[in-house]
Chains A and B, each alone.
Chain A
């Protein structure tokens, strides 16, 4: 009888140990399952959103029309681009955009000249972004007017939420 009791005790111990292992496993899995946590999901979405905005503006030929006055020295182009980007983004999303003109010298050296003065943004410079995403974009002008066709630009668009 004593031997039988010891055997039952061991079986109970094993069952308990297995239960503990399973419980621990479930506990750990519940932590690891949302590996794409809220933070990661948000930034992925922000990145896609930023590319979508730039692609849509490119497809519509908006960059050519906005940047042509910029090359002529018109100061109002930043406000127009800010308006275009603002209306393409959902409410509550902050952005900052930098615009560079790209030229390549005869020696093959690439020169980036910043055109904006920080005015293509809907957030104050001292506002810290939370869950922000920055995307790079090169753009060869293909749409009207002819004076813009074949020109190269580079955009840096940062989108995010206020911290």
Chain B
């Protein structure tokens, strides 16, 4: 009888140890899975997505600069002549952008080869945020540029599919909208008030520190645009800027505000005076 008791104790111990070893193994496997999936992939996917957005922004900057003044920004535009970029031609800029994004895709595949990166960009449709005040507009065919109006904007929209096969990460999909919009709130006398936004309607507060703004005017009956001398630009918060001119705007005519965000994306807004 005593022997049977010892066998029982031994059996309980063995079973207990087996159960515990299984639990520990499962726990370690789960922890390893979490480490491999959530930590390593998270930053890599975020870095690739952020770089894709930079690539989109760079191409939109190229298109808007080629559209506004190809020669003035030739340090940038001339480097893409070989891609087929033409002055003032948005369609050629779109073709250049598509080729550049293909190249970006190839570069990412090579750089992240050790992670088994499978990357593919695609064209899609994005709705413009209502905050930019341009109505119900959709960005398709890669880019949308609407200038020479009170609420002007330049936008680019594309999506990204990403797999990191060596990390067991599949199916990452992100649609990105990059852009810059400018709204003339008021223009009279020697002051022009504008509101600047970026991307999904986020109010932009870096126009003075990192971007730039110019004002042009044209008197009624004249064909010539005159660049106004800007005396001061004051940031009034919430994306609002007060531009003080050295001299007054004409009583009748048009005023045009050209602005660039820090990424080089231009927007050109225009209103009539009087």
Contact = CB atoms under 8 A, between A and B. Distances in A.
Contacts of B54: 58, 139-142
Contacts of B112: 136, 138
A138 B48 contact: yes
Output the residue of B12, B31, B48 with the most chain A CB within 10 A: B12
Interface in B60-108: 61-62, 65, 73, 75-76, 79-80, 100, 102-104, 106-108
B58 interface: yes
A22 to B, nearest CB: 9
Interface stretch (A72-80, A85-93, A148-156): A148-156
B20 A25 contact: yes
Given A16-B9, A110-B106, A138-B51, A35 B111 contact: no
B62 A112 contact: no
B16 interface: yes
Contacts of B106: 104, 108, 110
Given A40-B35, A51-B47, A142 B57 contact: yes
Interface string B1-23: 11001101100110011001000
Given A20-B13, A149-B61, A138 B108 contact: yes
A13 B80 CA distance: 85
Interface string A8-42: 01100110111011001100100010011000100
Contacts of A137: 47, 51
Given A138-B47, A138-B108, A32 B76 contact: no
A136 B100 contact: no
A142 B107 contact: no
A24 B107 contact: no
A104 B107 contact: yes
B50 interface: yes
From B2, B8, B103, residue with most partner A Cβ within 10 Å: B103
13 contacts: A9-B2, A10-B8, A35-B31, A40-B35, A51-B47, A104-B107, A135-B43, A138-B108, A138-B111, A138-B112, A140-B58, A142-B264, A154-B111
Interface of B: 1-2, 5-6, 8-9, 12-13, 16-17, 20, 24, 27-28, 31, 35, 39-40, 43-44, 46-48, 50-51, 54-55, 57-59, 61-62, 65, 73, 75-76, 79-80, 100, 102-104, 106-112, 114-115, 210, 262-264
